[in-house]
Structure 1
Amino acid sequence: MSTITLTLVLAGLLLIAALAAYAWHLWRRVWAQQESQAAAEQERRQRLGGDLNILASSLLDEQLPLIEGAIRIKVLLDNYDSALSNDARCQVFHQLFEATADVPTHAAWKALDKPARRRFEKRFTELELQHKAAARTAARWLLDEGLASRPDRA
């Protein structure tokens, strides 16, 4: 083998080794990023699970208005676990959410005149009477079984 051929083969091998080392470096960064994302997702799910526990407990202890609690639980469930959110035992939260979707919030609520507020409050009372037992049953199920069956429960 000539010197030029040997030099070219060595240069090629060095280039391959350098590219392999760079590829290894990039893969390590990808794996580290995947681990970081998985840890962040686990932390997010634990936080949401804890928040759901607090809301369901507060709803059962009547420390939270039924309508507000149901809306908050529905939104958190959607973000926590869509399968759990779509479980038939949680449908009352969806029903209350949909039944109050047109209610103004925050500044728009404050801007309502008193008769309009009273109409909404009357509807809240009717919804509460109609769905209170089902919402309490769903909250109890969430605490006892729904969230307990999740491995990442906070």
Structure 2
Amino acid sequence: MSTLSLVLLVTGVALLTALALYALYLWRRVWAQQRNQELATNERRERLAGDLQILAGSLLDGQLPLIEGAIRIKVLLDNYDSALSQDTRCQVFHQLFEATAQVPTHGDWKALDKTTRRQHEKHFHELELQHKAAARTAARWLLEDGLQAPSKRA
């Protein structure tokens, strides 16, 4: 074997080794990033589950108005688990959300004249009478079964 061939062979092996080590370094970074994303997702789910438990408990205890609680629960459920949000036992939250979607909030609510505000409040009261039992049942189900781990739910 000539000297040139030997030099080229050693150079090629060194280059391949360097590239393999760099590829390993990059893969380790990808795996670490995936682990971090999984941890962040799990922390987010735990936080949302805790928030949902607080809201459902507050709705059941009467510490939270039904309409406001249903809207908040629906939005958090959509972010927590879309399959759980679409469960038939949670449909009351979607119904109340849709029934109040056109109602102005925050500053726009304060800017409404008293007559319009009273009309919305009357509508809220009618919705509450119509859906209170179903919303309480759904909140109780969320606390007892719905927010459990998926394997426990099945």
Task: Normalising by structure 1, report the TM-score.
Answer: 0.96
Higher RCO structure, 1 or 2 (CA under 8 Å, sep 6+): 1
1:21 aligns to what?
Answer: 21
Distance 2:148 2:118 in 1: 39
Give the superposition deviation at 1:81: 0.4
Structure 1 residue ranges (4+ consecutive) displaced by more than 3 angstroms after TM superposition: none
Q: Secondary structure at the match of 1:27?
A: helix
2:122 aligns to what?
Answer: 122
Give the superposition deviation at 1:150: 4.0
Distance 1:15 1:145 in 2: 57
1:49-88 pair list within 5 angstroms: 49-88=49-88
Q: Which runs of 5+ in 1 are unaligned?
A: none
Distance 1:96 1:9 in 2: 73
1:6 lines up with 2:6 in the alignment: yes
Distance 1:23 1:40 in 2: 26
Q: Which runs of 5+ in 2 are unaligned?
A: none
- The number of aligned residues is 151
Give the superposition deviation at 1:149: 3.8
Give the superposition deviation at 1:119: 0.4
1:45 aligns to what?
Answer: 45
Distance 1:67 1:4 in 2: 82
Identity of paired residues, percent?
73
Distance 1:144 1:36 in 2: 30
Task: Normalising by structure 2, report the TM-score.
Answer: 0.96
